[in-house]
């Protein structure tokens, strides 16, 4: 079984290393869907707030990753003097605005696909078929995946005060037995496609929340490896100002490389040189048009 990566022609300049093939750990905001980490507020929080003493709810709220400033706390109590709902809405707005900043520091994502015949991905990821496709060997495993974000203390406090079992059930759903695809030490989880946006709990995004995407992207058949993103500074940045962090995939997992229909002869020579010198077991293919169907054929070069 295999996983695939459609790549822009510029990747020829930074992906091929002597030790293997470089894949980028992307920050969620660097991904192509603006809804990636902009989740809707968790529906159970307001109900818990309504049944929690105002002082306790504020204490519980500040146990998450988000710290309130003195002025924000004062504003919270001013709004609480009017209506509780207004105060809680104020807090939730702060959480929602802070979600992206928190998640950017927490996770990096490597995105692959199980779809090796996607003309749309050849078009938009590989710059109108001028890039290339890398096939990685993977194996399927069953594994318990655990994710315990810091908002557990927050939500448990609310559960104690409000005794809302459905909130506890949502918060405790942090261990799942999943079928993964592994490439060496990297475990990839299958993305789930849905028309309903996931909920944002206390301004935090769980690892599992990053496996939910709009069903409009379902043709990509995406698999994600989600890793802690080091807070160390990077000396390399992309055109959008995001630091570039990378993982090297050893040669033994690089099964095939397929040139796009419009790839250049220069790209072909450079990739062939890399295969000959560093990854001789990797096969090189060229994309061609099928003569009778809307389908690409991959012709072996070497």
pLDDT at 29 over 60: yes
Distances 302 to 162, 164, 207, 257 between C-alpha atoms, Å: 66, 62, 40, 10
Whether 32 is in a domain gets the answer: yes
Element (H, E) at 223: strand 222-228
Average pLDDT value for residue range 117-129: 96
Whether 141 is in a domain gets the answer: yes
Whether 81 is in a domain gets the answer: no
Note whether 236 and 188 are within 8 A (CB). no
Q: Which domain covers residue 18, as residue numbers?
A: 2-37+104-300
Range with the largest mean pLDDT of 76-80, 94-98, 134-138: 134-138
Distances 293 to 126, 220, 258 between C-alpha atoms, Å: 21, 21, 20
Segment 164-210, tens digit of pLDDT: 454 445 445 556 677 889 999 899 999 989 887 776 554 456 677 78
Mean pLDDT of the chain: 78
Whether 255 is in a domain gets the answer: yes
Q: What is the pLDDT of residue 155?
A: 45
Whether 230 is in a domain gets the answer: yes
Q: What is the pLDDT of residue 152?
A: 45
pLDDT at 120 over 90: yes
pLDDT at 135 over 60: yes
What's this model's pTM, rounded to 2 decimal places? 0.76
Segment 243-297, tens digit of pLDDT: 678 899 999 999 999 999 999 999 999 999 999 999 999 999 999 999 999 999 9
Q: Which pLDDT band holds residue 237 (cuts at 50, 70, 90)?
A: low
Whether 291 is in a domain gets the answer: yes
Q: What is the pLDDT of residue 68?
A: 63
Domain count, the chain: 1
Whether 247 is in a domain gets the answer: yes
Residue with the bigger pLDDT between 298 and 45: it is: 298
Average pLDDT value for residue range 37-64: 56
What is the Cα–Cα distance from 299 to 261, expressed in whole angstroms? 11
* Extended beta strands in 89-236, E state: 107-113, 132-137, 139-146, 175-183, 186-190, 192-194, 199-200, 212-214, 222-228
Whether 80 is in a domain gets the answer: no
Average pLDDT value for residue range 52-65: 53
Q: Which residue matches tokens 């309903």?
A: 196
Tokens for 146? 């655990």
């Amino acid at each position: 079984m295999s996983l695939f990566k459609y790549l822009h022609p510029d990747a020829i300049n930074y992906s091929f290393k002597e030790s293997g093939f470089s894949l980028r750990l992307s920050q969620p905001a660097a991904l192509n869907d603006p809804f990636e980490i902009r989740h809707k507020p968790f529906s159970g929080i307001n109900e818990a707030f309504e049944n929690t003493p105002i002082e306790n709810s504020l204490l519980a709220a500040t146990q998450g990753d988000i710290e309130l400033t003195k002025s924000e706390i004062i504003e919270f109590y001013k709004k609480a003097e009017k209506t509780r709902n207004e105060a809680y809405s104020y807090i939730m707005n702060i959480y929602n605005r802070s979600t992206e900043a928190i998640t950017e520091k927490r996770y990096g994502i490597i995105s692959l696909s199980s779809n090796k015949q996607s003309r749309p991905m050849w078009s938009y990821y590989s710059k109108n078929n001028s890039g290339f496709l890398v096939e990685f060997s993977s194996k399927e495993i069953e594994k318990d995946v655990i994710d315990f974000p810091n908002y557990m203390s927050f939500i448990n406090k609310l559960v104690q005060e409000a005794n809302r079992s459905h909130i506890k059930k949502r918060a405790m759903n942090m261990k799942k037995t999943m079928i993964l695809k592994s490439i060496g030490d990297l475990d990839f989880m299958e993305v789930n496609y849905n028309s309903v946006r996931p909920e944002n709990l206390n301004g935090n995004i769980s690892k599992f929340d990053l496996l939910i995407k709009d069903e409009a992207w379902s043709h990509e058949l995406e698999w994600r490896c989600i890793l802690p993103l080091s807070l160390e500074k990077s000396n390399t940045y992309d055109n959008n100002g995001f630091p570039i962090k990378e993982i090297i995939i050893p040669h033994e997992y690089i099964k095939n490389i397929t040139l796009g229909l419009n790839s250049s002869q220069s790209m072909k020579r450079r990739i062939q040189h890399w295969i000959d010198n560093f990854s001789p077991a990797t096969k090189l293919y060229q994309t061609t048009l099928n003569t009778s169907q809307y389908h690409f054929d991959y012709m072996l070069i070497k």
